[in-house]
Amino acid sequence: MTKLAQASLSLLILTLIALAAGVTTSQAQGSGLRSRYVGAVSLEQIAQGAEGVGTLLFYTGQRPDDQPSLVVVFDKPPGSEVAGATVYDVPPGLDYVPVEFGPDTVSFRQALAPALQIVSLDGWWVRDGVISYNLNIEVKGPIYAMWGGGYDPLTASPTSWTALVPHGDPAASIKVRDPQHEGVPLWDLRMLKARVSETRAYYRINYAERTCSSPTQIDYGVSPLWPYIIDGGGYEQTPGRLRPPIVVDFIRGRVTTLSEIVTVRNQNCSASFYSIKGPPGEGGLIHANFETPFAFYDLSGQGNGYPNLILRSEHYPAHDPWSVNSGAEGGAIRTAPREYETIRYSWRNAVGDLRWDYKIEVLGFQPYTFETPIAGGLYTIDAPAYAQFPAWVVDHSWPAVTFIDTEGNSYNSSEGIYDWTPRALGLDYFFGWSDSSTLDAYQEITPGFRGEYRLQKDAPPRLYLSPIDGRLHLKGAEGGLWSLSDGLVMRVYNLTGGDYVDGWVRERAASAPVDKTPADPAVPTATSQPPAAPLSPMPEEAIFALHGYLLYSGPQLAEIRQVRYLPASFEIAPPTDSASWQAFRERMAPFTQQRPDPLNMYSWLDAFSGPTLQIGGGTISGVRATVDGFRFVLTIRPGARVGGENLVSDAPLGPGSYAVTYDGSFTAQPITPPALHVSAPQTGALLGPAIENRPQIVRVNIANNGLSDAERVNVTAVAIDAAGDSRTLGSQQISALSDVNTPVSFSWVPAHPGEWAISVTATVADLPPSAADAASRYEQRVQVVGRALPSTSAALSAFDLIPIPPLLGLMLGLALIAGLSTQRLARAGAAPAPPTQEKPAHEKNS
């Protein structure tokens, strides 16, 4: 009993001492995590801005008191207007922070490098439940503190640049501000301080600014009196919740992440950017590159944590090392010759919910010449201002634009719609390094999505509603693709090269032909020679709207209808603000409910009436625009039923294939096979004099005098020397359209002088060679002259840089002096060897 009383008394005394010393122990939320505070001033007082020193320690499991997992040291000197907190995590080689306790102090048993140094400019941490977010934070060590860094929770190890930062070394510098003391920060600016290679494309500046309010719940983490710490989590904030930024793995005692404080993506509106380039230049002006700006808007005004307009830019100044491939080690070999940007502009026709209805994406060369203040005026940036940015994009002309309509099939994305960036065409093409580009990237699209591209015209991005298919289109689009169900795709064509699409062809995706811009620079681009609709495989259904006629071709019939229609029901720009977004919604509302069925294209004709030629069992193919009209091939099978008005011919149309042309009136001629003719310009196939080992261009024209278009023509050029040795200059596959001259060129470097024969052969790929060979060969004999070598006198005088006589004189003089020197040395060498100044060591020793 006495012992029990003594023990109870001792416990009471110890408790009193501890309380007197300001020691408090609490079980933090979460299993197995507890904290202990030591200090002369209580944590409540420290949190509210009292002067003094205190230490907050966190423990996991049954760790002894001198082995915490994390330690926060508070310090607010007397008279100071700011409060400081230094966070220490477990140093390398230990699994705890080595501390020892004084009466009301905590000290470290060894010198430790802090993980975080935080200064509250308010001088307090929490007051009346409001958290101070006027903070300057220095992050040290391998802590994921900026976008582009990383932490892998599976391996519990840092990744990317974070892994390169030694414990205690500077990693990032962060400024966060909440000027109105709302407890929800306004902006968050981060700059990379890690000593990483300049050649690596790490983001060196992150910025995020809250530009409207979002419903937000505050999470006070593991320590409500100092609510900056959370047990586990990632870098991004989640919508509707503001988590403490210091993410700790308490088991390992490591600060793993200093998360976003102002979130970029997960709130209604934010103005942000990620720049590889940093730090700010003179006068605090930031010439940011990469994702600048990255802007999020809630045009509905009713957002619940998600934006409904996102503008994600990628901008690079001319010659920026990251302009061609921002992920490349050591920067790109070639850099952008011009300042350029791509801007992804995705919007939702409803309140934001991570899903999207439309996107335009522009690529162009607009300079950033702004001085937009950021971070409360601490810095300026050369990018457009947040409020004006959507209008800036929509009002400017862009040479390359793509458009996506998700047709109600959007995936979830916090960055908008990724499909069909204009960049996919290849930067080499946009920078002028390449004459041609491939449209391969636009041969596929997310199932259900509809996409269009405009790559040949510099104009602002505008949309219009087509009365033919009742859908939004990109004005000036050169083509497009719609991924339908069941492996079907709808290809959209602009055969006339005007502002409006005029061809729709539904076909099986597997049979989709690859449409390429011409490989030969001499071949005109699509605007002057539009691509023909595919002949093979046979499309299921097609409609063309050309010069007041609708041409329909389906499995059962072909129809030509003369109609009156407007190319666009209305034109509209992408929404840039709440008013235009509302107007856009209202304008589109009638058309989003009932849309023409892509699987029954014949029904599209119902909206149009006029004189009609209907051919049951007929097909229309090879539709293309001509200089003043259009042409197509009409095939009438035996037994076909021809009804209605014969719009195309005065004579009755019997079974067979006809080349039908329209140039104000129709002409129908029975089809004839392709007839190729290769010829050279009047001056010959060679562009200049043929010289040995000098590049030469061989240029010929391929004409097709038949009435059938030849889709695939193989053109091969060969050079044969006098000895009969032949060298193939190259082979190309081209399309030879009926009645169109197609220039083809080859490069030739004559290997030696003498007479050569240049032979160019064109063959229709689908016909037997014997059928076309006779008229498809061109041959020309040329004399190749030898390359000129410098003469001896030219070489001696270095092409007249120095007169020869003095040079030879100098050379001779040198030879004489060298001879004289040698003579003297040889004589000396011939003399008996003088006694050495030094003896071999063993002689000395003896």
Partner 1 sequence: MKKTAERQSLLLLILLALLIAAYWMLRYGGWSIDGDAVRLTLYAEGIAHDNTLNSERWAYSNGYGYPALLVFLAALTGLSIPSIQFLGSAWLAVIVLAAYLTYAALLADGRQALFAAALLLVQPDFMFYILRSSHERSTWTLGLLVLWLWSRERRANRPGTTAAIIVTTYLLLWAMISNNAYFGSTIITTCLIGMLARFIVRQLPMSRQHAASAEESRNMPNSIPLTGFILVFLFVAYTYAPARSYFFTLSTIADKMMVLFLGSEANVAGTYSYVETAWVSQPIYLLLTSAQWAITLAGFAAWLRDSWVIVRRGPQALTPARQLLWYFYVGFAAQVALGVIADLSGALASNLQLRMFTPFVLVSSPMAATWLATPLVGAALRRPLARIGLTLLASCAVIASLLKMTNDPLVGNQWIFYSPDEQIAAAWVDSHLSYREVWLDLGAHQLEVMQYRKGYEWQPTNRYVSGAQSQPPSNVLISTFTLMQANRSNLVLPEVADFNQVYDNGESQFYHRPTYTQYQQ
Q: Which of 564, 650, 768, 842 binds partner 1 (CB under 8 A)?
A: 842
Q: Which stretch binds partner 1 (CB under 8 A): 2-10, 70-78, 481-489, 820-828?
A: 820-828
From the CB of 301, what's the least distance to partner 1, in Å? 40
Which residue, among 337, 519, 313, has the nearest Cα to 430 in the 3D structure?
A: 337
Least CB distance from residue 372 to partner 1, whole Å? 25
Q: How far is the CB of 792 from partner 1 (least distance, A)?
A: 7
Q: Which is nearer to partner 1, 522 or 607 (CB)?
A: 522
Can the peptide bond before residue 293 be classed as cis, meaning omega within 30 degrees of 0?
A: yes
Q: Which is nearer to partner 1, 411 or 431 (CB)?
A: 431
By beta-carbon proximity to partner 1, the closer residue of 328 and 512 is 328
Q: What part of residues 5-64 is at the interface with partner 1 (CB under 8 A)?
A: none
Spatial strand order of the sheet with 379-381 comes to 285-286, 379-381, 372-374
Burial of 100 per CB tally in 10 Å (0-12, 13-18, 19+): exposed
548 near partner 1 (CB under 8 A): no
Q: Which of 50, 370, 399, 561 binds partner 1 (CB under 8 A)?
A: 399
Cβ atoms of 37 and 50 closer than 8 Å: no
Nearer to partner 1, 651 or 788 (CB): 788
Asked if the peptide bond before residue 655 counts as cis, ω within 30 degrees of 0, the response is no
Task: Please state, in angstroms and rounded to a whole number, the distance separating the CA atoms of residues 540 and 613.
Answer: 20
Asked if residues 351 and 300 have their Cβ atoms less than 8 Å apart, the reply is yes
CA distance 515 to 224: 62
Q: Where are the alpha helices (DSSP H) in 522-646?
A: 578-593
Backbone angles phi, psi at 281, to 5 degrees: -90, -155
| Cα–Cα distance for residue pair 530/493, rounded to 1 Å | 9
Per CB under 8 A, which of residues 447..486 are in contact with partner 1? 456, 458
Question: 765 or 815, CB closer to partner 1?
Answer: 815
- Nearest residue to 753 via CA among 779, 789, 729, 728: 789
The 3-class secondary structure across 98-118, one letter per residue, is CEEECCCCEEECCCCCCCEEE
What are the beta bridge partners of residue 106? 101
- The answer to whether 319 contacts partner 1 (rule: CB under 8 A) is yes
Separation between Cα atoms, residue 400 and residue 439, nearest integer Å: 13
Q: Is residue 749 within the footprint of partner 1 (CB under 8 A)?
A: yes
CA dihedral 217→223→229→233, nearest 10 degrees, is -60
Size of interface with partner 1, in residues (CB under 8 A):
79
Nearest distance in Å: CB 257, partner 1: 28
Among 10, 397, 783, 821, binds partner 1 (CB under 8 A): 821
Which residue among 133, 430, 453, 549 contacts partner 1 (CB under 8 A)? 430
Contact of 561 with 612, CB cutoff 8 Å: yes
605-634: contacts with partner 1 (CB under 8 A): none
| Helix, coil or strand: residue 274 | strand
Interface pick for partner 1 out of 111, 514, 627, 801 (rule CB under 8 A): 801
Interface residue with partner 1 among 48, 443, 525, 646 (CB under 8 A) is: 525
> Rounded to whole angstroms, how far apart are CA atoms 622 and 185?
62
Residues from 334 through 393 that contact partner 1 (CB under 8 A): 334-335, 337-338
How far apart are CB 42 and partner 1 at their closest, in Å? 48
The residue (of 330 and 670) whose beta carbon lies closer to partner 1 is 330
Kindly state whether residue 820 participates in binding partner 1, applying the rule CB under 8 A: yes
The Cα–Cα gap between 21 and 32 comes to: 25
Considering only 219-227, 230-238, 650-658, 796-804, which stretch makes contact with partner 1 by CB under 8 A? 796-804
- Say whether residue 823 binds partner 1 (CB under 8 A): yes
Q: What is the DSSP letter of 322?
A: T
Tell me which residues in 678-737 interact with partner 1 (CB under 8 A): 686-688, 693-697
Beta carbon nearer to partner 1, 498 or 688: 688
Among residue numbers 187 through 216, which ones bind partner 1 (CB under 8 A)? Answer: 197
Q: Does 516 bind partner 1 (CB under 8 A)?
A: no
- Pick between residue 7 and residue 820 the one whose CB is nearest to partner 1: 820
Nearer to partner 1, 29 or 527 (CB): 527
Taking CB under 8 A as the criterion, which residues in 136-175 touch partner 1? none
Of residues 319 and 637, the one with the C-beta less far from partner 1: 319
**Which residue lies nearer to partner 1 by CB, 144 or 430?**
430
What does R_g of the chain's alpha carbons equal in angstroms? Answer: 39
Report the site for partner 1 in 228-287 (rule: CB under 8 A).
none
Residue with Cβ nearer partner 1 (712 or 752): 752
Residues in 627-686 at the binding interface with partner 1, rule: CB under 8 A: 686
CB of 843 to partner 1, least distance (A): 9
| Residue 570 binds partner 1, judged by CB under 8 A | no
Closest among 460, 713, 505 to 601, alpha carbons compared: 505
144 DSSP β-pair partners: 257
* 260 vs 382, beta carbon nearer partner 1: 382
Q: Which is nearer to partner 1, 236 or 721 (CB)?
A: 721
Q: Does 787 sit near partner 1 (CB under 8 A)?
A: yes
Instruction: Judge whether 577 and 391 are in contact, CB under 8 Å.
Output: yes
Which tokens go with 416?
Answer: 């908008």
521/644 with CB nearer partner 1: 521
Q: DSSP label at 691?
A: B
Q: Which of 48, 366, 413, 434 binds partner 1 (CB under 8 A)?
A: 434
Q: How far is the CB of 343 from partner 1 (least distance, A)?
A: 18
| 392/315 Cα distance (integer angstroms) | 14
Q: Is 844 in the site for partner 1 (CB under 8 A)?
A: yes
Minimum distance from CB of 782 to partner 1 (Å)? 13
> How many whole angstroms separate alpha carbon 561 and alpha carbon 502?
14
Residue 94 or 697: which CB sits closer to partner 1? 697
Residues 299-318 within binding reach of partner 1 (CB under 8 A)? 318
d(CA 54, CA 41): 7
Q: Closest approach of Cβ 159 to partner 1, in Å? A: 20
Nearer to partner 1, 31 or 792 (CB): 792
Regarding 808 and contact with partner 1 (CB under 8 A), the answer is: no
Please tell me the chain's helix, strand, coil percentages from 3-state DSSP, rounded to the nearest 5: 15, 35, 50
595/590 Cα distance (integer angstroms): 9
Using the rule CB under 8 A, is 94 a contact of partner 1?
A: no
Binding segment toward partner 1, per CB under 8 A, in 60-68, 94-102, 285-293, 329-337:
329-337
Among 277-285, 286-294, 635-643, 784-792, the segment contacting partner 1 (CB under 8 A): 784-792
CB 205 within 8 A of CB 192: yes
How near is the Cβ of 516 to partner 1 at its closest, in Å? 14
Instruction: Give 44-49 contacts, CB < 8 A, sequence gap 24+.
Output: 44/225, 46/74, 46/76, 46/83, 46/125, 46/225, 46/226, 47/124, 47/125, 47/126, 47/127, 47/225, 47/226, 48/124, 48/125, 48/126, 48/127, 49/76, 49/83, 49/122, 49/123, 49/124, 49/125, 49/127
Instruction: Assess 798 for contact with partner 1 (CB under 8 A).
Output: yes
- Applying CB under 8 A, which part among 58-66, 423-431, 584-592, 711-719 lies near partner 1? 423-431
The dihedral through the CA atoms of 471, 475, 476, 480 has a sign that is negative
The two structure tokens encoding residue 363 = 């690529």
Pick one of 274, 429, 604, 632: the residue that binds partner 1 (CB under 8 A). 429
Under a CB-based contact definition with an 8 Å cutoff, are residues 634 and 648 in contact?
yes
Nearer to partner 1, 83 or 474 (CB): 474
